[in-house]
Amino acid sequence: MKKLTLIACAVGLAVHQLIEHEAIKLVERTISIKDLPADLEGFRIAHISDLHGKRFGNRNIRLAKIIDSCDPDVLCMTGDMVNGTKDDGSALTELLMNLRGKYPRLYVSGNHENRSIWLSEKANRDRLSEDLEMYGTEILDGRSYCIEGLPICFHGMKDSRDKHLKLHEVMGPKRDGAQNIALIHRPSRFEAAAKAGYDLILSGHIHGGVVRIPFAGGLLSPDKVLFPRYDKGIFHDFGSALCITSGLGNTRVYPKLMNRPEVVLIRLVSGEAK
């Protein structure tokens, strides 16, 4: 009897996981920024991360439609869009191919791009870069992108585990008089980025703490930290703001639980942080 109960629980959990891992949630978040220029009131950022080579629907069309439905002013992708093992980047390029909106698409790499077996070959790296560029994507690993006619710039860095690196040496220069938004895969750089003057930092990597515990938040980060402080959502600290998404895909080691894949739509508004 005990054995049957255990089998029933295991099957139930597996079915739940299968359903949950396909059920994309569109999460709308408002971020208040003090002295936001009037031109940027209501500016819309679609933020996705950690696809890990997953497809939602045939050739990622279902995911592309959800992003397009946000009608964003810009799409930001904050790393681990390609999985480190057994992924040739096609799930990402299919997503980009199927987006219909004409908004800028900005991308930075994560630790999985760095350790990818497929990307370790130069020819594959070049092919992915060409594909991303062909589908209108700006790779911001160490570069900046400013939106024409608006006082807003985006800056990115290639993912690195080096705790001692200096952000001003690996990211494009901030622009005076503009809102400066940083795309950084790991939220552990939030404090350094805030102190360097970035107004908003977009991150992923933590997968929302993998397992979401009601009233307690995320249980574990991929860096094996229990109850990570920055797990998912909006945080206001160090005079800046962090938006961290739990992302879209999974790794084999850390499958998410009670933690649906998400597309985040950020709306910037003027006001005191809350």
- Give every strand in the sheet of 105-108, ordered side by side: 25-33, 262-270, 44-48, 74-78, 105-108, 137-139
> Smallest gap, in angstroms, from Cβ of residue 227 to Fe ion?
18
Contact residue for Fe ion among 56, 70, 78, 80 (CB under 5 A): 80
The Cα 174–Cα 180 span in angstroms is 6
Residue 235 and residue 231: Cα distance in Å, rounded?
10
Q: Where are the beta strands (DSSP E) in 53-188?
A: 74-78, 105-108, 137-139, 144-146, 152-156, 179-183
Q: Which residues in 191-230 contact Fe ion (CB under 5 A)?
A: 205
Minimum CB separation of residue 205 from Fe ion in Å reads: 4
Instruction: Write down the residue that tokens 């990570």 correspond to.
Output: 228
CB 153 within 8 A of CB 144: yes
Residue 183 CB, nearest approach to Fe ion (Å): 13
Q: Which of 78, 111, 179, 245 binds Fe ion (CB under 5 A)?
A: 111
Q: Which is nearer to Fe ion, 17 or 160 (CB)?
A: 160
The answer to the question of residue 110 lying near Fe ion (CB under 5 A) is yes
Q: What is residue 215's DSSP assignment? A: T
Q: Applying CB under 5 A, does 78 fall inside the site for Fe ion? A: no
- 80 vs 262 by CB, closer to Fe ion: 80
Closest CA to 262 of 58, 28, 106, 78: 28
Within positions 4 to 33, which residues make up the interface with Fe ion, using CB under 5 A?
none
For Fe ion, the nearest residue by Cβ is: 205
Task: Compare residues 238 and 254 and give the one whose CB is closer to Fe ion.
Answer: 254
Q: How far is the CB of 251 from Fe ion (least distance, A)?
A: 9
Shortest distance, position 112 Cβ to Fe ion, whole Å: 6
Between 95 and 268, CB nearer to Fe ion: 95
Alpha helices in 99-159 (DSSP H): 111-115, 122-134
**By C-alpha distance, which of 104, 24, 122 is closest to 65?**
24
CB of 142 to Fe ion, least distance (A): 18
Q: How many residues bind Fe ion (CB under 5 A)?
A: 4
Query: Which spans of this chain sit near Fe ion (rule: CB under 5 A)?
Result: 80, 110-111, 205
